[in-house]
Amino acid sequence: MPTQKEKMLNQMLYDANHDVTLLRERENAKALCYKYNLLHPSQIQKQQDIMKKLLGKTKGSFTIVAPFWCDYGYNIEIGSHFFANHNTTILDGGKVIFGDNVFIGPNCGFYTAGHPLDHERRNKGLEYAYPITVGNNVWIGAGVQVMPGITIGNDVVIGGGSIVLHDIPDHCLAAGNPCRVIRSITADERERNWDRENEFGQEITRP
């Protein structure tokens, strides 16, 4: 008979509210997040030490601006040159994996957790956790919310305020609610005059 943690890690319905092991692990992760969020911004080495203890895997340099919150920590893997701005929240009952050179704007959320639609099982505290994967060279704008089971490809920009309900392919700009592909990112992007255009490549009208 699998444990509740094994069920969680294998995308099965599990009891998140009454299992002693999971309750203890979440309490430990929240304690580390709390300690991290109270550090002075200049205490960079202490910040790094806590994150390396909290997260499942880190690679190279990374910056996570407080406050930061997660459920377990050990299910989060980040690549090199990872940056997450203020108020990043990761509900990591399932794996959440970020590639290299991922930039995350403020107030973003990554939620692997979901609940049954029927109230009987939901009221018993049952939930599921589907993994989230973010590729390399991805910029996620402010206020983006990524739902369970989503894969975001390589070289992708997600426009601010988007709610990502479906997978996003490589090399594209996507935005909206629900988030959808706006256009491909092309080789001439480096030639665009970004001080006169917004992230959708449209000229900004100035008064």
Residue 78 resides in a domain: yes
- Global pTM? 0.92
Tally the domains of the chain.
1
Q: Which pLDDT belongs to residue 207?
A: 44
Say yes or no to pLDDT of 203 above 80: no
Write out pLDDT tens, residues 68-123. 999 999 999 999 999 999 999 999 999 999 999 999 999 999 999 999 999 999 99
Q: Which pLDDT belongs to residue 200?
A: 56
Write out pLDDT tens, residues 50-68. 999 999 999 999 999 999 9
Report the CATH number at residue 51. Answer: 2.160.10.10
The beta-strand segments (E) located in the chain are 14-15, 62-64, 68-70, 76-77, 82-84, 88-91, 96-98, 102-104, 109-111, 113-114, 126-129, 132-134, 138-140, 145-146, 151-152, 156-158, 163-164, 172-175, 180-184
Q: Which pLDDT belongs to residue 188?
A: 78
Write out pLDDT tens, residues 149-190. 999 999 999 999 999 999 999 999 999 999 999 999 887 776
Residue 206 resides in a domain: no
Residue 46 resides in a domain: yes
Q: Which pLDDT belongs to residue 25?
A: 98
Supply the range of the domain harboring residue 83. 4-181
Residue 85 resides in a domain: yes
| Residue 115 annotated in active site | yes
DSSP 59: -
Residue 196 resides in a domain: no
Residue 157 resides in a domain: yes
Identify the active-site residue in 81, 86, 115, 171.
Answer: 115
